[in-house]
Amino acid sequence: MKTKGIALIAAVLVTVPIALFDAGQGGGTGGPTSSLSILVPGSAGGGYDSLARESQQSLRANGISGNVQVINIPGASGTVGLQTLIEMNDRDDTMLVVGSAMVGGVEITGSDVGLDDVTPIMAVTTDYPVIVLPESSPYGDATEFLSAWKADPEGHPIGGGALGNADHLAVIALAEASGIAAEDVNYIAYSGGGEVLGSLLSGTVAAGVSGYSEISDQIETNRVRGIGITAPERIEGIDLPTFAEAGVDVVMPNWRGFVAPPNITDEERDALVTIVEEMLQTEEWKAAVVRNDWEERVLVGDEFVAFIEDQVDITQQLLEGVEK
């Protein structure tokens, strides 16, 4: 019964957006420079949504596309939005925001569809999860916390975002690099950064994991203490050590980018790539990168395809020992 209920909800969420597109755009014959829809596989206010709306502003302000709309399609760890895009077969006026959380969502939900069912356009940004402790924590740095965590993983719950997203994957990667089995990790998934912060301040969790931009204000006001970032090297403007500096070589990018429906032509794909490339050159986009503490990381063509395949392999390996 539970499975049927989930399937029904997913079907409703998938069908309604497609009907809206068909009624409002007449099949998209004007192409993406005339009208472009950016689908967000999550609710308003999240990381996917931020990328979509910053892109919308940059495209509109510079006349790169005449009418850009953002449509949120949350559900099933992003896979409802992915299914929606796939059902928009050969539409050349629509893109879906995707990223590391989508890769994990496909694995966690056991989805029948994946990123190999769509047309990759471009990866554009990355940021990196950070591990934070409440100000009252007895551990002074990453080395002390990781040592205590290894000795008693059950007694050191870690709060973060949804199962399968970059937060969760970063914690699993840190655990395995520290000698902790994935199945022993006490990870508590929350629906948003506010809940993670609340669990830290209340002592419900021993540590939290979040994107830097979501927790930076709390670090700067000393409500929490950052002990490490899962980046390959220190990032300019972020005063946090990497975990490699604590002897744990873990890198976990929280990347985001765009894909299009399946079965568009090479020319239609290239037109979407050109639109995104033009957007990346705008002043509005450059300001958005700074404002959101993003690192611009552009991958396109075969390089983006290979990157997605690599991320799928890494995610599958990390989630092997996790109860889904």
* Residue-wise pLDDT tens digits, 47-77: 999 999 999 999 999 999 999 999 999 999 9
Which pLDDT does position 225 carry in this prediction? 97
Strand order in the sheet with 207-211: 187-189, 158-160, 207-211, 129-134, 224-229
Report d(CA 15, CA 83) in Å as an integer.
Answer: 10
Q: Output the six-digit token pair for 67.
A: 């009418």
273 three-state secondary structure? helix
Amino acid identity, position 71? I
- pLDDT-derived band of residue 21, with 50, 70 and 90 as boundaries? low
* Residue-wise pLDDT tens digits, 196-211: 999 999 999 999 999 9
Q: How many CB atoms lie within 10 A of CB 283?
A: 10
Phi, psi for residue 317 in degrees, rounded to 5: -65, -45
Report d(CA 163, CA 77) in Å as an integer.
Answer: 8
State what percent of residues in the chain have pLDDT above 70.
Answer: 91
Which pLDDT does position 193 carry in this prediction? 84
Q: What is the pTM of this model?
A: 0.89
> What are the structural domains, with CATH classification, of the chain?
2-126+255-319 (3.40.190.150), 129-246 (3.40.190.10)
Report d(CA 187, CA 154) in Å as an integer.
Answer: 9
Which pLDDT does position 2 carry in this prediction? 26
Which pLDDT does position 7 carry in this prediction? 34
